[in-house]
Amino acid sequence: MERENRGLSLKVISQHTKISVTMLQHLEDENFDMLPNKAYVKGFIKSVSKALGLSESVALEIYDETLRRREGRTQNSKEKKKEKAPEHHVSAEVPKPKAEGDSDAESEPVFKMGLVALAALVIIGFVVVLNTPSDKEAKKEEENAAVVEATVTPEPTMTITPKTLTADTPLRNESMIAANTTEDEPKDTEEVEPTPLATATATPVPTKTATPVPTATPTPVPTKTPTPEPTKAAEKQVEKKEDKKAEEEVEFRKFTRDLYGYETEGATEALNQYVPKSYQVSVIEGKQNVFIKAISGDTWLTYKADSDPIKKFILKEGRHLIIRGDEIIAFLGNVKVTKIFLNNKLLDIESRSGVKSLVFPQEKKDSYRLPLFIYNNKKGTVMTSKEYMEENPGTVD
């Protein structure tokens, strides 16, 4: 079977075609009685053929030929049963001519039975005509089947394009993953409740006397002296102090043990299941060929290959990433949901929290310090620890 030869499971085909695993299993087993009508089945066949890179027309011809063979076997079975069934002959006895002396009363029951038989034949013929579909109805069913077949199309697959980091690129959820930097929280501003205006109570004017009405003297409202705002130069100086304080809080550490090993049990099966054949044969000798696939969840990923810019994004479940270079460093926020292959070899990676820093080849790990990447949440920038140490000599002993 083409799917098994390519090392693809029904679950993978189901994810690409949006067809349930149960329906795919019935389709492979030719359990057509468990599937919907022919229009839907043809749509399934087209989607699976497209996912496997097969000819849709050839697949549909095989399906039609299978149906014709099954219908031929059913027709032959019916004919054999018909040949074995005993024939029932209905014979009507011809009444003997009655003597002239017979009374009309004897022939009346025979006449009534003939009328009943004739009425039964008319009813049976009417039922047969009603149950026979007309040409217009058959044509309408074929048009509906064509419409359904045209609408059952698989969704296009998406390819992740890594985003090149710039200084204006905002970071998302970095403060939760990278524990090496902290972002100052804004202080609550003190709100000044305004002083209410004094209101004067008017004295009612007597109507009978000419006493003048006293006027209320308004109480002056105290004005708040505005606090002078800091100048831009002062703000820049404060920002520099905060950045310098954040940099001083970064604690660099050496790698103390191996970063990964190689799996032996089930490694070949995993390679054929998760890594496409086209990638397996395209490994460049002498390079670090890294293949990462998110199997059971999403993971945050930051990496750098040779002198290329740093790239970072979220690797969604079911997606994969290929990195090639002489020297590669990577940081994963949830390595437990991934399968990582180096030059077609499955890696054995240990991590209690799921956070993992990797260097390829790991013999180069002594050239780096943990954390591999330093994030500046306020400026939205990121740099490697190696670059930071080159710009700030004397930071690490």
Domain count, the chain: 2
pLDDT of residue 6: 76
Rounded distance between C-alpha atoms, residue 358 and residue 371, angstroms: 11
Burial status of residue 291 (CB atoms within 10 A of its CB: 0-12, 13-18, 19 or more): buried
Q: Is residue 203 situated within a structural domain? A: no
Determine if the pTM surpasses 0.75: no
Domain with residue 7: its CATH number is 1.10.260.40
Number of H helices, E strands in the chain: 12, 11
Higher per-residue confidence, 182 vs 247: 247
Q: How confident is the model at residue 231 (pLDDT cuts 50, 70, 90)?
A: low
Read off the pLDDT of residues 189-201 as tens digits, 9 standing for 90 and up.
344 444 444 444 4
Q: Is residue 307 situated within a structural domain? A: yes
pLDDT of residue 53: 80
pLDDT of residue 26: 86
Q: How confident is the model at residue 109 (pLDDT cuts 50, 70, 90)?
A: low
Read off the pLDDT of residues 126-151 as tens digits, 9 standing for 90 and up.
544 455 455 555 455 555 544 434 44
Q: Is residue 247 situated within a structural domain? A: no
Which residue shows structure tokens 């496997």? 52
pLDDT of residue 289: 98
What length does the chain have?
Answer: 397
Query: What's the farthest any 2 CA atoms get from each other in the chain?
Result: 146
pLDDT of residue 276: 96
Any residues with CB less than 8 A from the CB of 282 and at least 6 apart, and which? none
Domain boundary among 98, 127, 156: 156
Higher per-residue confidence, 46 vs 152: 46
* Other Cβ atoms closer than 10 A to 243: 13
Q: Is residue 27 situated within a structural domain? A: yes
Residues 9 and 147 in one domain: yes
pLDDT of residue 340: 98
Q: Are strands 311-315 and 338-342 parallel, antiparallel or unpaired?
A: unpaired
Domain boundary among 99, 124, 156: 156
* Other Cβ atoms closer than 10 A to 273: 15
Read off the pLDDT of residues 314-346 as tens digits, 9 standing for 90 and up.
999 999 999 999 999 999 999 999 999 999 999
Domain that holds residue 350: 261-391
Does the pLDDT of residue 164 top 80, yes or no? Answer: no
